Structure 1
Amino acid sequence: MRCKSPKLALCTALFALAAGSACAQFHSPQVDGAKHKKDKKQYSDAEWMWQYSPPPAEGRENQLIQDARFYPFLKQNLTAPQSFWGVQGTKYKPLADTAMDFLSVPGKVIADEDRYLTITGCVFHFCPSRGMLWVDLNAAPKAANLVAFAAVDWIRDSKTTSEPDAEYTLWLFSNQTFGLTSDATKHIPAALVQSISRWTKEPMPGTGIVEKITHVILVDPDGTPHQLPIAALGITLPQPKPETDAQ
């Protein structure tokens, strides 16, 4: 706004008032985060999650899981029965509660392709049990977001978790059924496979050990399990470190 004398004082006051009004309209972190980080239009009831993605570099996972909308989101999307977390043979936790347990120690929030969120963490006091929540924010109008939860569970009759050869099972749950045959539709998305592959190559927190995942079980929303080869999710067995000759 350009001001001309003798109305300079009045014009300056109007300019300041307009600027203050504009600032008042955009103080919300939810609005700012979505506006500056995502320019294209989204059709998503999970858009609020985007504000917790980078920056900072590893996002704000702790603040995300404490958001009052997070647990209801899990309960809405993670409804499949699970049979690996709880008191074996008697009672298992609901899947949404299991996901909360596996994300309770903060990990990262990673944004990919201005569309996908990967949220990681581990179980309190037992970080060999790690969790990953993956959300596709680009839901079509009136359609549900694609949500998947992966959990790495220690196979207890293998070696202890402090040993590199301990074995683990990766459980994968989704709110949508994936086609597993070559002629099927709705295959496991490549972006989800990429996130799982990246995540499973990371060492356990506080150690240099990359977990040896030897089994993968995909569970449909109705609870039907399917055993998959680990390569189907981009998982590779960790390579042993070469021995060095004693000097």
Structure 2
Amino acid sequence: MRRHLQLGAVFLLIFVTSGIRAQLQLKHDKPKAEDLSWMWQYTQPADGGNGSGLLNDVRLKALLQAHFTAPQTFWSNGKSLPETIFEFLGQSRSVVADDNRYFVATGCVAQFCPNRGLLWIDVGSAHPLFVFAATNWIAESKATDQAGSTYTLWVFASRALDPAHLPQPLTRSIAPWATEPLADNTVEQIANVILVDPDGQPHPIQPADLGIGQTKKQTEQKANS
């Protein structure tokens, strides 16, 4: 009897110890939340931020390389998506904080500003979502300074998104940006929207999926008022 009790105590000790080790291992393996707080400094000054400072921060390059792994085929053959992002933000326009959670940087290609870029990051999430959107002029259409010239809007995300349920804070940023008037007061006509998964799989979606149709009407009404 005594021997049985001793064996039972040994087995109980082994079981408890194994459980503690498993819990410690789970805690040890749990990935740390990515610290992106360093990005907020570039939203100052409040009248447009410091886009030049952001683009020259070496941490941005590493960040884009880590989160944007999809290939891109719409701009400069052979360039990676992170390199393309830098080009489309090259002539910085604004760096802002939306709702103290979402980081939004916009700009355009320095030598061809009708091609514009937007970088959107959900900084407040434990697993931040990164999205890059770019307007690309369709060369077969009218010249960029002519009414009716058309563009393709490319949207790259760091994880697969459901086109039918895109994050509302994301569409709240992309829709007004995609339809804001250019320097000559023309509004880019978005003819196609391509949502690209991290593995490069493209998904044609409707501009309305990003809320662009409604925002475009509001923009045109303001421009004509």
Question: What is the TM-score of this pair, normalised by structure 2?
Answer: 0.78
Alignment-derived partner of residue 97 in structure 1: 83
The runs of at least 4 aligned residues of structure 1 exceeding 4 Å deviation read 237-242
Name the aligned partner's letter for residue 199 of structure 1: W
Residues 89 and 116, structure 2, Cα contact 8 Å, conserved in 1: yes
Alignment of 1:4-15 (within 5 A): none
Match of 2:154 in 1: 171
- Unmatched tracts of structure 2, length 5 or more: 1-32
Q: Check if 1:80 corresponds to 2:57.
A: no
What are the equivalent positions in structure 2 for 1:35-114 lying under 5 Å apart?
Answer: 43-86=33-76, 91-114=77-100
Q: CA RMSD in A?
A: 1.8
SS of structure 2 residue aligned to 1:69: helix
Whichever residue aligns with residue 63 of structure 1, its letter is: G
Between the two proteins, the alignment pairs up a number of residues equal to 188
Post-superposition shift, 1:78?
Answer: 1.0
Paired residue type of 1:110: V
Deviation at residue 139 of structure 1 after TM alignment = 2.5
Q: Which has the higher helix share?
A: 2
CA contact (8 A) 1:44 1:138 kept: no
Q: How far is the alpha carbon of 1:79 from its aligned partner?
A: 1.0
Matched, 1:202 2:202: no
SS at match of 1:198: helix
- Structure 1 residue corresponding to 2:130, chosen from 147, 150, 155: 147
Identity percentage of aligned residues: 43
Give the AA of the match of 2:105.
I
* Alignment match of 2:209 (pick from 232, 235, 239): 232
Aligned residue for 2:161, secondary structure, equals coil
Match of 2:100, SS? coil
Separation in 2, partners of 1:92, 1:207: 32
* 1:162 alignment partner in structure 2: 145
User: Does the aligned pair in 2 maintain the 1:54–1:111 contact within 8 Å?
Assistant: no
Q: Output the CA distance in 1 between the equivalents of 2:147 and 2:43.
A: 32
Match of 1:190 among 154, 157, 168: 168
Unaligned segments of structure 1, at least 5 residues = 1-42, 182-186, 243-247
CA contact (8 A) 2:121 2:129 kept: yes
- 2:108 is paired with a residue whose SS is strand
Deviation at 1:198, TM superposition (A): 1.7
Bigger shift: residues 68-77 or 98-107: 68-77
Separation in 1 of the partners of 2:36 and 2:156? Answer: 18
Distance of 1:162 and 1:49 partners within structure 2: 35
| 1:92 match: secondary structure | coil
Which of 162, 174, 195 is the equivalent residue of 1:218?
A: 195
Q: Deviations over 1:63-113 (max 9, x none)?
A: 111111111111111110111001xxxx33110000000000011012111
| C-alpha displacement of 1:137 | 0.5
